């Protein structure tokens, strides 16, 4: 029953909705920054509220009402964090890490909810908190909604067709269920005095209604269930429409059967426990908390006829807890959007996802579908119990899910020693295939429509492959000509196997499967085998289109048993993650840096030694005037992005490397700029080294060609970066003119540094911006970033940003220009992107980058005249030693002199006599007094001078 559809984007693994086992994809990289799942809008989460999970090592700082750690105290003030409290204050850490199937137990004891100022963007608050390293995750508080479509009341019992359709009558001849088996109806409550429900409730006789917590479970008088939303013992629905949803759902699963009253539920003798999660208007305000309550209070099956497109780790933690820690089966509605959008909790691992069908086994028009669905069940026009002791017909996956849940409860009664996952698998693998009836949805309605008789009578087999691991044994960036190795854990959930084979297949022409099978052979019940030593081998074909989505199928065979599992892989992406030294970043095919798309999606940002990203957004900007600026960064209106660059040649690794240890090359143009295009063609290259002096930077180089018929004048080109270093509200910017670098840093203790250094000759232009309303005297980018403002940033100087205090949110642009490019000609501009622990650290890397670029690659643009920019001195001011770096070639016979303020020579030497390290010279200053001096380098045809200061 493993709806084991997994989507892998580039090298990021996203696993969706797997019942049997832990099906996350293991790769070498993890997404470090928050981004909303597809389909999520502002209506799908609570503004100003977040969910946080503290890392285990900081448990000692946790209380039920707060988290008293110094870094968090500081940042919580900046983010206006208030009303922080544990969601499950009574929970403790699991005694062991994993269960006997090697599945990791969930720890709910460190999960908090908190409010924050709605003046702040939720994405930045999340990234800010994650940057502290204190939390496993921080995410929005997603809103769920019920999944049903009301219908006119039926005048007959035709809506009871579902019992025949799932073969319930024949199944009940085998097993009518057990009153000790309980389905938790986690919903809007129930009509607990309804004539067809009152005898089906699982009453807690250990805690009668007397104002005392007789059973000492922390809930007073939870005799007939619990209202988790209101924290009281009255789970009664509060009216018709959405508030009455839970009463209809209750009857689908567990309406009293064979009692001479009303309708019948699929669970026959099965009892249900009402767990109310909504307010009186039907808003689901305690949905996942309700799952925990049901899991803790004896519900073997937990039904969730609700959900939404937002799916974070908090929800997965709750499912893990219910399934792995408490051995329950969670059944959930696939959603009523009529498309393939993932709907949570249905799309989580370990959840039995249920799509809806009608009385002809045709997919209900409203039902979601997809390879993440496990089974289908009738959900159209279902007649069931309703508000105020009435009955009505309703449609939705909300009805399909409890019908499946009631059936699962009878499976549990038939196989009492099965785990929750095994119950789900037994129901899944005995379903009737309905692909022939639904050819347009073949493979997307699960194994089929459930058949309760088969589930009770068949000795079934079920195999799933979990913990998929994909690698190309190289950079784990899956592009054309790469050979992928796919392995994972093969788990046998049900009856023993004698000769299992697993085969990989696909209909996609984007790949060629080189090795398509592995043979685990005989396997006992609940046994696990891994094919790491015999992986599937898949080659990505040169013809694969950009961002090709490949649907793979795993086929399991053992005698007469055949089963399938599917997963998706997106390959030949138009960006590459770079992690060859201390810097981690992403290079795209369209001029963006850090992330391929807006909202910090598809990429690493910019990291240093595995830190959280220090960059919110980055990219190349090229402008000729205030009306003509081409780029792919934020635009004139908030929320808008300019998309002027388009890929001509997708960025790819250069094999074998030519200039560095990891060369990338691509081409893009500005054809998408429309009327303001400059007809540019840009060759983009990246160089990376891991040697000691060069491990803290990467180099990006752009050859900008005038591909038009008119001269371009006034052209400036530069790198835009919205730096978010640790707490983004504590960032500052300055510049080091000697190394031609703009740099940003965090003012926090042990704050990190990041810099952008101009490597090619030409004017060094640096514009530091305060990302605040009004711009604090600089460019006001808070209300949007117009072409005029972009050109101003490219062509004018502003040395600092961040104010006089601890700093604020900042943005930096380092550029060069102006240039004039005639038709067919080009210029070259190059920059080093640098990370470090201190200012001296990034200055050293800036110098090393310049040396590497000029003297190792030999790629810098030619300079006809020497200038002071060719001479770098550090530290400035100096104390006991002066380091000298020349950007131009020198000879051993060149002379170096130091003159005092009166022009008198106080030091003179040939270069060959000095202590040199590559192109570095070291001059002792211990014999010189404090003051202003001039360093002079004399060659055969030229001389360069530069002023510096000695302090004592």
pLDDT tens for each residue of 663-685: 999 999 999 999 999 999 999 99
Measured between alpha carbons, how far is 319 from 325 in angstroms, rounded to an integer? 9
Confidence of residue 856 (pLDDT cuts 50, 70, 90): low
Question: Lowest mean pLDDT: which of 611-615, 852-856, 905-909?
Answer: 852-856
- Per the model's pLDDT, the better-predicted residue between 310 and 191 turns out to be 191
Beta bridge partners of 943: 938
Confidence of residue 481 (pLDDT cuts 50, 70, 90): confident
Output the pLDDT for position 885. 74
What is the mean pLDDT of the segment spanning 272-292?
A: 94
Which residues are within 8 A (CB) of 933 and not within 5 positions of it... i.e. 6 or more apart?
A: 898, 899, 900, 901, 906, 947, 948, 949, 950
Alpha helix segments (H runs only) across 449-564: 452-457
Output the pLDDT for position 948. 82
* Most confident stretch, 34-43, 131-140, 541-550, 794-803: 794-803
Measured between alpha carbons, how far is 185 from 304 in angstroms, rounded to an integer? 7
Which residues are within 8 A (CB) of 528 and not within 5 positions of it... i.e. 6 or more apart?
A: 101, 102, 489, 490, 491, 492
Measured between alpha carbons, how far is 707 from 298 in angstroms, rounded to an integer? 71
Q: Check: CB of residue 145 under 8 Å from CB of residue 306.
A: yes
Output the pLDDT for position 941. 58
Measured between alpha carbons, how far is 808 from 811 in angstroms, rounded to an integer? 10
Question: Lowest mean pLDDT: which of 130-139, 163-172, 828-837, 852-861?
Answer: 852-861
* Most confident stretch, 502-506, 633-637, 877-881, 916-920: 502-506
In the DSSP assignment, the letter for residue 782 is T
Q: What are phi and psi of 272, to 5 degrees?
A: -130, 150
What does the DSSP assignment read for 730-771?
GEEEEEETTTTEEEEEE-STT--EEEEEE-SSS--EEEEEE-
Q: Which two tokens stand for residue 902?
A: 């009166």
* Exposure letters 260-277 (e unless 16+ CB within 10 A, then b): eebbbbbbbbbbbbbbbb
Look-up: residue for tokens 């026959």? Answer: 268
Backbone CA torsion sign across 283, 287, 293, 294 = positive
Look-up: residue for tokens 């067709």? Answer: 161
| Angle at alpha carbon of residue 63, lines to 60 and 67, rounded to 5° | 75
Output the pLDDT for position 950. 87
Given the DSSP bridges, would you call strands 226-227 and 271-276 parallel, antiparallel or unpaired? Answer: parallel
- Dihedral over alpha carbons 339, 344, 346, 349 (to 10 degrees): 120
pLDDT per residue as tens digits for the range 108-155: 999 999 998 767 778 878 888 887 889 999 999 888 877 644 443 333
Measured between alpha carbons, how far is 625 from 592 in angstroms, rounded to an integer? 21
Look-up: residue for tokens 């997965």? Answer: 316
| Angle at alpha carbon of residue 884, lines to 732 and 717, rounded to 5° | 50
Tell me the C-alpha to C-alpha distance, in Å, between residue 337 and each of 47, 282, 362, 383, 439: 24, 19, 16, 22, 19
Q: Which two tokens stand for residue 112?
A: 């908090």
Quote the percentage of the chain above a pLDDT of 70: 90
Measured from the Cβ of residue 808, the count of other Cβ atoms closer than 10 Å reads 18
Tell me the C-alpha to C-alpha distance, in Å, between residue 937 and each of 882, 884, 903, 940: 14, 10, 15, 10
Using the predicted structure, report yes or no on whether residue 940 has a pLDDT greater than 50.
Answer: yes
Measured between alpha carbons, how far is 327 from 456 in angstroms, rounded to an integer? 20
| Angle at alpha carbon of residue 54, lines to 50 and 56, rounded to 5° | 160
Q: Which helix (H) or strand (E) holds 554?
A: strand 548-558
What is the mean pLDDT of the segment spanning 377-381?
A: 96
In the DSSP assignment, the letter for residue 314 is H
Output the pLDDT for position 27. 33
Q: What's the predicted TM-score (pTM) here?
A: 0.70
- Per the model's pLDDT, the better-predicted residue between 473 and 410 turns out to be 410
Measured between alpha carbons, how far is 136 from 152 in angstroms, rounded to an integer? 47
Output the pLDDT for position 570. 83
Using the predicted structure, report yes or no on whether residue 26 has a pLDDT greater than 70.
Answer: no
Using the predicted structure, report yes or no on whether residue 212 has a pLDDT greater than 80.
Answer: yes
**Residue in 191, 200, 175 with CA at minimum distance from that of residue 265:** 200
Measured between alpha carbons, how far is 12 from 904 in angstroms, rounded to an integer? 63
Beta bridge partners of 186: 275
Q: Check: CB of residue 875 under 8 Å from CB of residue 847.
A: no
Q: Which two tokens stand for residue 159?
A: 């809506």
Output the pLDDT for position 209. 95
Q: Which helix (H) or strand (E) holds 538?
A: strand 536-540
Question: Lowest mean pLDDT: which of 142-151, 200-209, 227-236, 772-781?
Answer: 142-151
Look-up: residue for tokens 């006829």? Answer: 305
What is the mean pLDDT of the segment spanning 184-203?
A: 95
Output the pLDDT for position 260. 83
pLDDT per residue as tens digits for the range 733-754: 999 999 999 999 999 988 999 9
Measured between alpha carbons, how far is 624 from 630 in angstroms, rounded to an integer? 9
Q: Check: CB of residue 132 under 8 Å from CB of residue 724.
A: no
Measured between alpha carbons, how far is 531 from 464 in angstroms, rounded to an integer? 13
Using the predicted structure, report yes or no on whether residue 864 has a pLDDT greater than 60.
Answer: no
What is the mean pLDDT of the segment spanning 593-612?
A: 85
Measured between alpha carbons, how far is 874 from 844 in angstroms, rounded to an integer? 9
Length of the chain: 952
- Per the model's pLDDT, the better-predicted residue between 774 and 117 turns out to be 774
Which residues are within 8 A (CB) of 422 and not within 5 positions of it... i.e. 6 or more apart?
A: 415, 493, 494
| SS3 category, 422 | helix
Using the predicted structure, report yes or no on whether residue 834 has a pLDDT greater than 80.
Answer: yes
Question: Lowest mean pLDDT: which of 218-222, 302-306, 892-896?
Answer: 892-896
- Tell me which residues are annotated as active site: 187, 245, 398
In the DSSP assignment, the letter for residue 854 is I
Q: Which two tokens stand for residue 443?
A: 């493979």
Given the DSSP bridges, would you call strands 351-357 and 375-378 parallel, antiparallel or unpaired? Answer: parallel
Per DSSP (E only), the strands in 342-421 are 351-357, 375-378, 382-386, 390-395
What is the mean pLDDT of the segment spanning 528-556?
A: 92
Q: Check: CB of residue 363 under 8 Å from CB of residue 355.
A: yes
Q: Check: CB of residue 846 under 8 Å from CB of residue 759.
A: no
What is the mean pLDDT of the segment spanning 923-944?
A: 79
Q: Which two tokens stand for residue 139?
A: 């995410």
pLDDT per residue as tens digits for the range 309-344: 888 889 999 999 999 999 999 999 999 999 998 899
Measured from the Cβ of residue 99, the count of other Cβ atoms closer than 10 Å reads 15
Q: Check: CB of residue 908 under 8 Å from CB of residue 896.
A: yes
**Residue in 858, 857, 859, 853 with CA at minimum distance from that of residue 872:** 853
Confidence of residue 870 (pLDDT cuts 50, 70, 90): low
- Across the chain, mean pLDDT equals 87
Which residues are within 8 A (CB) of 455 and not within 5 positions of it... i.e. 6 or more apart?
A: 171, 407, 410, 411, 414, 426, 427, 430
Which residues are within 8 A (CB) of 149 and not within 5 positions of it... i.e. 6 or more apart?
A: 336, 366, 394, 395, 396
Count Cα atoms within 13 angstroms, Cβ side, for 298. Answer: 17
Confidence of residue 30 (pLDDT cuts 50, 70, 90): very low
Using the predicted structure, report yes or no on whether residue 468 has a pLDDT greater than 50.
Answer: yes
Measured between alpha carbons, how far is 887 from 133 in angstroms, rounded to an integer? 39
Measured between alpha carbons, how far is 410 from 355 in angstroms, rounded to an integer? 20
Output the pLDDT for position 33. 57
Output the pLDDT for position 858. 52
């Amino acid at each position: 029953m493993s709806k084991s559809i997994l989507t892998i984007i580039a090298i990021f693994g996203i696993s969706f909705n797997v019942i049997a086992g832990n099906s996350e994809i293991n790769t070498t990289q993890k997404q470090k920054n928050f981004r909303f799942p597809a389909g999520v809008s502002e209506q799908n989460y609570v503004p100003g509220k977040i969910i946080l999970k503290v890392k285990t090592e900081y448990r000692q700082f946790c209380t039920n009402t707060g988290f008293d750690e110094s870094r968090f105290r500081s940042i919580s003030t900046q983010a206006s964090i208030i009303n922080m409290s544990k969601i499950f204050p009574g929970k403790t850490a699991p005694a062991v890490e994993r269960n006997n199937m090697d599945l990791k137990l969930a720890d709910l004891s460190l999960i908090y909810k908190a409010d924050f100022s709605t003046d702040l963007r939720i994405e930045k608050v999340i990234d800010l908190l994650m940057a502290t390293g204190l939390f496993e995750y921080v995410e929005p508080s997603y809103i769920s909604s019920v999944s049903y479509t009301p219908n006119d009341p039926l005048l007959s019992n035709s809506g009871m067709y579902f019992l025949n359709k799932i073969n319930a009558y024949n199944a009940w001849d085998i097993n009518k269920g057990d009153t000790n088996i309980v389905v938790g109806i986690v919903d809007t409550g129930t009509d607990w005095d309804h004539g067809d429900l009152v005898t089906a409730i699982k009453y807690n006789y250990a805690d009668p209604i007397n104002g005392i917590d007789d059973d000492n479970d922390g809930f007073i008088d939870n005799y007939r269930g619990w209202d988790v939303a209101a924290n009281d013992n009255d789970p009664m629905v509060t009216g018709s429409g959405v508030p009455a949803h839970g009463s209809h759902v209750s009857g689908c699963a567990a309406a009293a059967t064979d009692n001479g009253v009303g309708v019948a539920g699929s669970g026959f003798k099965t009892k249900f426990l009402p767990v109310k999660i909504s307010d009186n208007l039907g808003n689901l305000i305690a949905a996942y908390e309700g799952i925990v309550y049901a899991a803790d209070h004896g519900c073997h099956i937990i039904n969730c006829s609700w959900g939404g497109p937002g799916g974070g780790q908090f929800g997965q933690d709750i499912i893990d807890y219910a399934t792995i820690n408490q051995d329950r089966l969670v059944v959930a509605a696939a959603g009523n959007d009529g498309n393939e959008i993932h709907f949570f909790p249905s799309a989580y691992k370990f959840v039995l996802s249920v799509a809806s069908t009608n009385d002809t086994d045709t997919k209900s028009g409203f039902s979601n579908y997809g390879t993440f669905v496990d089974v289908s069940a009738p959900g159209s026009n279902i007649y069931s119990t309703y508000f105020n002791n009435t009955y009505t017909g309703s449609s939705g996956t909300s009805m399909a899910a409890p019908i499946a849940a009631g059936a699962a409860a009878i499976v549990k009664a038939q196989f009492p020693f099965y785990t929750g996952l095994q119950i789900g698998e037994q129901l899944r693998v005995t379903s009737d295939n309905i692909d022939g009836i639904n050819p347009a949805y073949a493979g997307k309605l699960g194994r089929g429509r459930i058949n309760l008789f088969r589930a009770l009578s068949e000795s079934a087999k079920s195999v799933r492959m979990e913990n998929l691991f994909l690698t190309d044994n190289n950079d784990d960036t899956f592009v054309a000509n790469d050979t992928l190795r796919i392995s994972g854990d093969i788990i046998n959930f049900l009856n023993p196997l004698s000769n299992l084979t697993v085969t990989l297949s696909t209909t996609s022409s984007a790949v060629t499967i080189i090795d398509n099978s592995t043979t685990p052979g005989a396997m006992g019940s609940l046994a696990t085998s891994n094919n790491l030593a015999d992986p599937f081998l898949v080659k990505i074909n040169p013809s694969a289109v950009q961002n090709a989505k490949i649907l793979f199928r795993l086929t399991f065979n053992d005698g007469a048993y055949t089963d399938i599992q599917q997963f998706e892989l997106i390959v030949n992406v138009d960006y590459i993650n770079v992690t060859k030294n201390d810097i981690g970043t992403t290079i795209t095919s369209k001029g963006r840096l850090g992330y391929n798309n807006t909202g910090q999606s598809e990429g690493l940002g910019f990291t240093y030694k595995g830190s959280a990203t220090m960059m919110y957004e980055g990219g190349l900007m090229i402008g000729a005037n205030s009306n003509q600026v081409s780029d792919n960064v934020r635009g004139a209106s908030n929320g808008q992005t300019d998309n002027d660059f388009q890929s001509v040649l997708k960025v790819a690794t250069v094999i074998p490397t030519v200039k560095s240890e990891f060369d990338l090359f691509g081409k893009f143009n500005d054809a998408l700029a429309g009327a303001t295009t400059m007809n540019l063609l840009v060759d983009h290259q990246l160089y990376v080294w891991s040697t000691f002096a060069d491990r803290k930077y990467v180099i990006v180089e752009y050859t900008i060609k005038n591909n038009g018929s008119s001269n371009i004048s006034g052209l400036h080109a530069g790198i835009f970066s919205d730096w978010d270093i640790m707490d983004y509200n504590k960032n500052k910017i300055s510049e080091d003119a000697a190394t031609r670098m703009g740099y940003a840093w965090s003012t926090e203790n042990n704050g990190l540094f990041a810099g952008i250094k101009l490597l090619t000759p030409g004017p060094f232009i640096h514009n530091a911006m305060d990302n605040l309303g009004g711009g604090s005297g600089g460019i006001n980018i808070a209300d949007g970033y117009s072409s005029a403002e972009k050109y101003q940033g490219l062509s004018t100087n502003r040395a600092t940003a961040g104010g006089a205090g601890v700093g604020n949110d900042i943005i930096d642009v380092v550029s060069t220009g102006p240039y004039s490019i005639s038709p067919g000609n080009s210029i070259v501009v190059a920059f080093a992107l640098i990370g470090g622990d201190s200012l001296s650290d990034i200055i050293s890397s800036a110098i090393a980058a310049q040396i590497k670029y000029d003297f190792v690659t030999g790629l810098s643009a030619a300079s006809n005249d020497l200038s002071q920019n060719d001479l770098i001195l550090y530290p400035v001011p100096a104390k006991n030693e002066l380091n000298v770096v020349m950007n131009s070639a020198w000879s051993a016979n060149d002379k170096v002199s130091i003159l005092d303020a009166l022009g008198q020579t106080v030091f003179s030497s040939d270069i060959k006599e000095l202590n040199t390290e590559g192109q570095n010279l070291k001059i002792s200053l211990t014999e010189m007094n404090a003051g202003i001096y001039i360093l002079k380098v004399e060659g055969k045809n030229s001389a360069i001078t530069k002023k510096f200061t000695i302090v004592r």
